[in-house]
Amino acid sequence: MIKSLLIILSILHMSTALAVNKAPDTENISKNIVNIIDPPNSAALNIMVDALSSLKELKKQNKATPENVEALIRIKLLPNIAMGVSTKIALSKHWSNLDVNQKKFFQNYISESLIQDYVSILSSYDKLDTVKIAVDPKVKRKDNKAIVKLIVNINDNPKPIIISLKMIRLNSWHVYDLVFSGVSIVKNYSAQFNSHIKRKGVESLIKKSEKKLNKLKKL
């Protein structure tokens, strides 16, 4: 019913455009319909709340082992991350010079290192029941990209935590970067990669990254 109403409103918007004797911009009309039916802030909230609810359930059942938390991250979060986009941005200066295997390696490296980092944090965090997530209704939007602000409230913290999710719409909305306290995850990787490549080259960075990833997996 709600979706039907939104589509009707979009059609009315189209009719208004025609009434002022302007040819309809079908591309913008399609974008407007997508924006109304599938807003990025709703997608972001659904992604985070779904993952948080599942994690809370694991904690409640005393099953929040590192293995189970890792499985949850892979199932609930990883499919919603545009890892290819993130990796391309992180290696923007060098991306066109990398071969297919190198691109795949760095995409896998960022993915696996993020998973291992968050497994250790989330499996040991005991205050999940006090965490509540909301989104700022104001969304910065340009073409198929958007920035959505998450408002995270924790009972023992008097001030909410603001996290910005940079999102891109592929077949649906995906997260490609996270910014907290002014620090971008993708820019952080970019700084590390560019510094090492400048000093020692791509192959040296791959060897170093392989060692780091193997070490993380053993923890």
DSSP 8-class letter at 74: I
- What is the spatial distance between Cα 143 and Cα 145, in angstroms, rounded to a whole number? 6
Q: Give the pLDDT confidence score for residue 123 in this predicted structure.
A: 79
Whether residue 5 has pLDDT greater than 50: no
Higher pLDDT: 7 or 95? It is: 95
Q: For the residues 207-215, what does the mean pLDDT come to?
A: 89
CB 32 within 8 A of CB 49: no
Whether residue 10 has pLDDT greater than 70: no
Q: Give the pLDDT confidence score for residue 218 in this predicted structure.
A: 67
Which tens digits make up the pLDDT trace of 154-167? 876 778 889 999 99
Single out the residue of 173, 179, 181, 180 nearest to residue 46, CA to CA. 173
CB 213 within 8 A of CB 85: no
Sequence ranges of the domains in the chain: 2-37, 40-218
Which tens digits make up the pLDDT trace of 99-138? 999 999 999 999 999 998 888 788 777 778 888 889 999 9
Q: Is 164 exposed, middle or buried (0-12, 13-18, 19+ CB in 10 A)?
A: middle
Q: Which residue has the tokens 């997530």?
A: 133
CB 186 within 8 A of CB 176: yes
Average confidence score pLDDT of the chain: 82
Domain 40-218 has CATH 3.40.50.10310: no
Which tens digits make up the pLDDT trace of 57-109? 998 899 989 999 999 999 989 999 999 999 999 999 899 999 999 999 999 99
Q: Give the pLDDT confidence score for residue 104 in this predicted structure.
A: 95
